[in-house]
Amino acid sequence: MIARRGLPPGGKDPDNDDGSSDLDEDEDGPTQVDVGATIACPYCGAPNEIALDPSGGPKQDYVEDCQVCCQPWNVRIRYRRDGTADVHVEGADAT
C-alpha cells in the first residue's frame, strides 16, 4: 500500500486557480512537510493513521503494528524535495 499526503508535485493546489504555489519554500527547501499519512493494513485492510517524523531523515525504514489487528508491518518512507512523503507498507512476513 502506498500513500502520499500533501500537495501534488510542484506544490500547486488544483483547486487554487490563481496559479500561486501553496508550498512555502525558502532557500533551504520546503517549509511544510508531511507529518502524517493514512494507510491500509496489508493484513486486515483497516485504515490506520500513522505519524511521520521528517527529522528522521529523507529515507526511513521501521516496523510498526496495525492499530486494529496488531500485525507488524515494514514501513518505508521517502521524503521528496517538496516535502511530500511516499509511504509504503507491507506485511513483515513479506521479506
pLDDT per residue, tens digit, the chain (95 aa), is: 545 444 344 444 444 444 444 444 445 666 689 999 999 999 999 999 999 999 999 999 999 999 999 999 999 999 999 999 999 999 998 75
In this prediction, residue 27 carries a pLDDT of 54
Q: Is the pTM of the predicted complex or chain greater than 0.85?
A: no
Distance, C-alpha 7 to centroid of its chain = 11
In this prediction, residue 28 carries a pLDDT of 62
Residues 6+ apart with CB under 8 A from 63: 72, 73, 74, 75, 92
In this prediction, residue 95 carries a pLDDT of 59
**Distance of alpha carbon 42 from alpha carbon 35, whole angstroms:** 21
Q: Is 38 helix (H, G, I), strand (E, B) or coil?
A: strand
Is 41 exposed, middle or buried, given 0-12, 13-18 or 19+ CB atoms closer than 10 A?
buried
